Amino acid sequence: ETGVTQSPTHLIKTRGQQVTLRCSSQSGHNTVSWYQQALGQGPQFIFQYYREEENGRGNFPPRFSGLQFPNYSSELNVNALELDDSALYLCASSWTSTLSGANVLTFGAGSRLTVL
Amino acid sequence: AQSVTQPDIHITVSEGASLELRCNYSYGATPYLFWYVQSPGQGLQLLLKYFSGDTLVQGIKGFEAEFKRSQSSFNLRKPSVHWSDAAEYFCAVGVSVMTTDSWGKFQFGAGTQVVVTP
């Protein structure tokens, strides 16, 4: 089975620009979550996508947005980049059903964004 | 809202010695608990998880963790560390998909950096 893949691995942007990060979920998974990991910190939940809709959001402004596609892959878009957006962005996929049960997240290697 | 505290930012241990990483959580219901490991430049790899049942759980790479409800703790242990165990370790608490709040959201601790010396 293929794992979670993210692209690009590294990128540099300047303040005010926009960025799109991409994620392919692990085969068999239908849910994608995005996390921001600033240097020296634990990952912070941005949002989750299930059935192509946003399903839960952390404390991030609306300029952070996303998409999930029918093949369960996902994009994270960040508009009007700020210096503090510099971080490792982690995508995680999981299986969600309408029955009760906890998710186990499978993470990709991340996209390292530097904002200058 | 749930929270996770990892009191030790940095731990240095000799190869072959035992290792224990502390994790305390705050959550109103029965938590789902996880330990992940992150090597430099890598994503997070699941070491082990606790959902219910036996409070001592075994994971990969010889790690184990014990859930203690009375202490709100989920400490990670390894009897004998290897140089390859040098990495950052994250404790996380997740919620059931049936919870309306934070469905599938994980709360991570700030991490513990483990350095292994010869």
Which tens digits make up the pLDDT trace of B37-55? 999 878 899 999 998 888 9
Is B11 in contact with B114 (CB distance < 8 Å)?
yes
Distance (Å) from the alpha carbon of B107 to chain A's nearest alpha carbon = 7
Q: Which of A40-44, A48-52, A94-98, B98-102 has the highest mean pLDDT?
A: A40-44
Asked if B98 lies within 8 A of A110 by C-beta distance, the reply is no
Q: How confident is the model at residue B78 (pLDDT cuts 50, 70, 90)?
A: very high
In this complex, the residue of B36, B43, B103 whose CB is nearest that of residue A56 is: B103
Residue with the bigger pLDDT between B21 and A30: it is B21
Residue B98: the pLDDT is 47
In this complex, the residue of B4, B49, B107 whose CB is nearest that of residue A104 is: B49
CA A104 to chain centre: 16
Residue A102: the pLDDT is 57
> A90-104, B2-16, B59-73 — which is least confidently predicted?
A90-104
Other beta carbons within 10 Å of A48? 29
Residue B95: the pLDDT is 65
The CA distance from B45 to A99, in Å, is 25
Mean pLDDT of A50-59: 86
Mean pLDDT of B101-108: 69
**Which residues in chain A touch residue B102, judged by CB atoms under 8 angstroms apart?**
45, 56
Residue A16: the pLDDT is 97
**Of A59, A91, A104, A58, whose CA–CA distance to B36 is shortest?**
A104
Residue B104: the pLDDT is 62
Q: How confident is the model at residue A31 (pLDDT cuts 50, 70, 90)?
A: confident
- 3-state DSSP helix/strand/coil % of chain B, to nearest 5: 10, 50, 40
Using CA atoms, how far residue B89 sits from A10, B40, B68, in Å, is: 23, 11, 19
pLDDT at position B17 over 50: yes
Residue B2: the pLDDT is 76
Q: Which residue of B has its CA nearest to A38?
A: B110
pLDDT at position A11 over 80: yes
Residue A100: the pLDDT is 52
> Which H, E and C letters describe B13-36, residue by residue?
EECCCCEEECCEEECCCCCEEEEE
> A78-87, B21-30, B51-60, B96-105 — which is least confidently predicted?
B96-105
Residue B96: the pLDDT is 54
